[in-house]
Structure 1
């Protein structure tokens, strides 16, 4: 029996390396960041480093935008010539319309697509794609692969700690009075991506306490679950990320760690200097 040709599709919120994308022929649709009304394709027209450098030094509006449905229509028109079907895993549908456009475009082009709303982004999204490819290579039936990936969604963790509330204020997520109080008392809100939405999980004072909060959350999961790898996510503050990575390594010597730059469409809202921790329970 002929083996089915499967196309893997995602978007730039997945934080996949160029090497992995090329090796596994993953098709990546870029989201956009908008700087003073000028559109840039994420990771193509502007790198994370360039974006955060500009956010730090320039005044103006920094926004994000989903891809157009035409981006997906063109992709699926090409893919249906060479592939039997596709598996698409996208950023949370509550945070971007990317997933919806992907599904709609596949329908318009009559391209068979198994679409998964990851309900997250960044490292957990990359985990789902890598695990999905592994499961297919192991010979699992496609419906079992999709079911397994959907199950993993409840076990993804992504916590972010903005260095200040400037961008959250500019994007309308917090009021001016909240920003002022947080600045006066050095309050750090801790954001979590849960069930597809961004929620404030806690508020602590000082960077040190926020980092301990993150490590303690990881410790809670490790008491009953298995975690093989932890990603330290940062918005162009490598020194702070290295300190958090050391804290994780010292606390849990057996766990692999990785440093990742925070995807720019998230950094639009959380700002330069954001630090986070992410993992998936297995």
Structure 2
């Protein structure tokens, strides 16, 4: 019996390198960022850096939008010619309808698809994809891979610290009163993506305290679990990211670190200067 030919599908919220995408023939459907009602395909029509630079200097509305279902229909129409089935891992279905569109399009095209709602995005989503490819390489079948990845979802961590509440206020995530109070007292909320949704876990007054709180969460996980790599995410503030990386390297010398840009569809809500920490427990 010949080995099944599997297509891997994800969306642009997965922070995968271009070389990894090409090497493993991963099909990436982009989400959109919307600047003053003009749509841009994330990573294609606009780079992350360009998006954040415009957000910092331009007035107006910055929003995000999921891909069109037609993007998936066209993709699955092509894939069913060359592949036996697909494994799709998408950003949290609570935060975007991308997962639902992907599943619907596969049904419309009668393309066999194993779809996983990662319940997250950014670095943890890329980790799930890499883990899935690794498991297939080890000889696991699609059902076993899906089961393993679904179990791993509860071990993903993504914490974000917005530099201010301007964007959260504009996108309707906090009220005007909360924003005024936060700016008066210089309060920074620490957001966590859990069970697919963003929750405020803590409120601190300085970046230093935010970093200390994030480090304490990593330390808690390390008491009972293994973490091989930590991603420092930033919304176009490399200096802030470097300070955090230095802190992690100092306190957790055995852990690999990587600095990466926060995906714009998340930055739309948290704003320029957001800093964050992410890891997956094994």
Give the Cα separation in 2 of the matches to 1:128 and 1:211: 25
What whole-Å deviation, never above 9, does each CA across 1:65-112 have from its counterpart, x for those lacking one? 000000000000000000000000000000000000000000000000
Secondary structure at the aligned position of 1:126 is classed as helix
Structure 2 residue aligned with 1:187: 187
Match of 1:10 in 2: 10
* CA–CA separation in structure 2 for the residues paired with 1:216 and 1:17: 29
SS in 2 for 1:173: coil
Q: Does 1:266 align with 2:270?
A: no
Structure 1 counterpart of 2:239: 239
Matched, 1:162 2:162: yes
**1:38 corresponds to which residue?**
38
**TM-score for the superposition, normalised by structure 2:** 0.99
Aligned residue for 1:248, secondary structure, equals: helix
What is the count of residue pairs matched by the alignment?
282
Tell me how far 1:140 sits from its aligned partner: 1.0
Partner residue in 1 for 2:79? 79
Matched, 1:62 2:31: no
For residues 221-248 of structure 1, what are the alpha-carbon distances to aligned partners after superposition, in whole Å with 9 as ceiling and x for unaligned? 0011000000000000000001000100
Q: SS at the partner of 2:13?
A: helix
Spell out, residue by residue over 1:92-149, the C-alpha distance to the aligned partner (whole angstroms, 9 max, x if none).
Answer: 0000000000000000000000000000000000000000000001111221111000
What is the CA–CA distance in structure 2 between the aligned matches of 1:267 and 1:168, rounded to whole Å? 10
Distance 2:138 2:238 in 1: 37
C-alpha distance after superposition, 1:166-205 (max 9, x if no partner): 0001011111111111111110100000000110111011
Tell me, what secondary structure is at the counterpart of 1:130? helix
Alignment of 1:92-111 (within 5 A): 92-111=92-111
In the alignment, is residue 149 of structure 1 matched against residue 167 of structure 2?
no
Aligned to 2:114: 114
Give the RMSD, CA atoms, in angstroms. Answer: 0.4
CA distance in 2, matches of 1:204, 1:189: 6
Query: Unaligned 5+ residue runs, structure 2?
Result: none
- Structure 2 residue 16 is matched with structure 1 residue 28: no
Matches within 5 A, 1:267-282: 267-282=267-282
Alpha-carbon separation, structure 1, partners of 2:106 and 2:142 = 18
**Structure 1 partner of 2:229:** 229
How far 1:5 sits from its partner (Å)? 0.3
TM-score by length of 1: 0.99
Structure 1 unmatched runs, 5+ = none
Residue 211 of structure 1 and its aligned partner are, at CA, apart by 0.7
Aligned-partner SS, 1:14: coil
- Mapped partners of 1:141, 1:59: distance in 2: 50
Distance 1:42 1:18 in 2: 14
Find the counterpart in structure 2 of residue 137 from structure 1.
137
